[in-house]
Structure 1
Amino acid sequence: MRPLTIAMPKGRIFDEAVKLLRAAGYRLPETFEESRKLIIDVPEEHLRFVLAKPMDVPTYVEQGVADVGVAGKDVMLEEKRDVYEMLDLKISSCYLAVASLPNYQKGELHPKVASKYPNLAIQYFKEQGEQVEVIKLNGSIELAPIMGLANRIVDIVSTGQTLKDNGLVELEKIQEITSRFIVNASSYRLKGKEIQRMIKQLQAVV
């Protein structure tokens, strides 16, 4: 039987999830976090780790290439993939917010919002009764208001320092975000015992 395959994003979520797995009793090599590989096998634990872009993790799990994964709630809401969300791991806490330059005036004629999360942004402003044009960007969202591409942005905030450093202010908080443990539906049937064990062990340390 092939190893249990876990999709994870590189960076903060990966580092915190690895700590959590170790606390849950999984023996992962000491050099694990330093590896540059995109696929890391841990044969002694019958595990395989696939390191993907944060937005791609739910896709790998939905398509069954990975059995389970760790993904931010922001990505789950944006991507709306058909996976089971089994556990709030309570790691990588941050929140989704609307921000702009300090001189922003509400009521502009053609409101433009830049975001990595177009679906979430459209849904949020719709709920506020506001029609906006959403411009999808893949990174450095703070540039949009500075360069005049958009009046506001919707982005992830953890400490608020990046906004401050770029002269932006937070206008509204949209939603608290943490990382979730997600599972592929078929894998849950075929590898239920292994997956349940992992959930149980993680639950004990969350």
Structure 2
Amino acid sequence: MKPVLALTKGRLERQFIAFLQERGYDVQPLIDKGRKLQVETSEFFAVFAKGVDVATYVEHGIADLGIIGADILLENEPDVFDLLPLPFGKCRFAIAGEPLTHYSQRKQRIATKYPNITTKYFREKGKSIDIVKLEGSVELAPLLGLADDIVDIVETGNTLEENGLIVKEEMFDLSARCIANRNSLKLKKAMLYPLIESFKVEEAVI
């Protein structure tokens, strides 16, 4: 019997494979998977899904462990155990917009994919805002007059710069996280512990 590990497809998947390789794991089955969504390695079974779905699979016990971005934990608050930060997937939440935005007397309007994170952040600062929930490129919102500013994840800042936007306020840093199913941690502790221990890195972002 092996642990089941759910991985976020795409950038985090590639970074996690490199992370495993540095720790001496045989990652060739993960590299050679093609379009397969389930892969067995010598140490674990891996399943590949979108980040939000990774959290769901872990929450329901389909996967014992999961690798996701901290944004998913903060925005969706799945019922999982947040085990530890990982030293990749580093980025930050920020408020961004056009350089010369003039706010009117009405409430500031913020476009974002993360309404819960955004609302909580501004509430803690004593500010009331209007949220415009978007799923795609939020950078368009201030350019087209839909919102005053945006709240989004910023990694390099290149997309903002290319669209004439600037970071107005840094909110907080993020990294990838390793999460666990609560029951798995209790019932499969001996099986999961070596894998979890191998993921621990002192310099990971919290």
- Partners of 1:13 and 1:123 in 2: how far apart? 26
Helix, strand or coil: the match of 2:172? strand
User: Taking structure 1 as reference, are residues 147 and 37 closer, same or farther at Cα in structure 2, changes over 3 Å only?
Assistant: farther
1:178 aligns with 2:175: yes
Equivalent residue for 2:5?
6
- Partners of 1:204 and 1:103 in 2: how far apart? 42
1:126 aligns with 2:161: no
| Within-5 A mapping of 1:13-92 | 13-29=12-28, 32=31, 35-42=34-41, 44-45=42-43, 47-92=44-89
TM-score (norm 1): 0.90
TM-score (norm 2): 0.90
1:189 aligns with 2:180: no
Q: CA RMSD in A?
A: 1.9
Equivalent residue for 1:116?
113
Seq. identity, %: 38
User: Taking structure 1 as reference, are residues 115 and 12 closer, same or farther at Cα in structure 2, changes over 3 Å only?
Assistant: same
Instruction: Give the unaligned 5+ runs of structure 1.
Output: none
TM-superposed CA distance for 1:106, in Å, is 3.6
Number of residue pairs matched by the alignment = 203
Instruction: Give the unaligned 5+ runs of structure 2.
Output: none
Helix, strand or coil: the match of 2:200? helix
| Within-5 A mapping of 1:126-205 | 126-203=123-200
